[in-house]
Amino acid sequence: MWYKRKLQSPEGIKESLGLPALSLGVKDFWKNHTAGLYGCEVKINKKIYPGALYYGPRLNTGEMLFEIYFSHKPESPADHHIQFRLLQKIRNTLSPNSIEDIQIQLQKDLSHLLLD
C-alpha cells in the first residue's frame, strides 16, 4: 500500500545524520505500526528510490521523528509531496550512546537494505 505525505521541511531533501533525508510529519499513520526502522520505497516525481524509514525518538530530546534516509540523494519533490510504502521492519529503535553510533548503524542498515 502506498501512502502520500507532505514534507515537513520546506527545503525538501536535507542532510540528517550525514545522509540525505526527508522529514515527514508524525500523524495518524503510526496507529497501526510500531516504532523502529523499516525498509521502504519512495516515489518522488514518478521515480522510485530505496530508503530506510525511521519512526522513533530523537536521541537528545525524545521528540518523535518520522524520517526517510537514502544512501544517495534523490531528486527533490516538485510539489513537496512524496509517496512511500513499507517493505519490511528491519529493527526496533535502539538506545545509542552518541550521534556517531546512530550514523554507523544507519549506514549498516542501508547497506543491508540495498543488498537484499
CATH of the domain at 81: 2.40.30.30
Whether the predicted pLDDT of 83 surpasses 80: yes
CA distance 88 to 38: 6
What's the mean pLDDT in 27-47?
A: 85
Tell me, what's the pLDDT at 60?
Answer: 78
Among 96, 33, 26, residue whose Cα is nearest residue 68: 26
Match 550514523 to its residue by C-alpha cell. 103
| 3-17, 61-75, 90-104: range with lowest mean pLDDT | 3-17
Tell me, what's the pLDDT at 29?
Answer: 64
Element (H, E) at 101: helix 99-115
22: confidence class by pLDDT, cuts 50, 70, 90 = confident
Domains held by the chain: number:
1
Among 64, 56, 63, 40, residue whose Cα is nearest residue 95: 56
Domain coverage including residue 20: 3-115
Match 502520500 to its residue by C-alpha cell. 4
Whether the predicted pLDDT of 42 surpasses 90: yes
Whether the predicted pLDDT of 107 surpasses 70: yes
- Separate counts of helices (H) and strands (E) for the chain: 1, 7
pLDDT higher at 13 or 49: 49
Contacts with 25 (C-beta within 8 Å, 6 or more apart), sequence order: 5, 6, 8, 66
pLDDT digit string, tens, across residues 43-64? 999 999 999 999 888 877 878 8
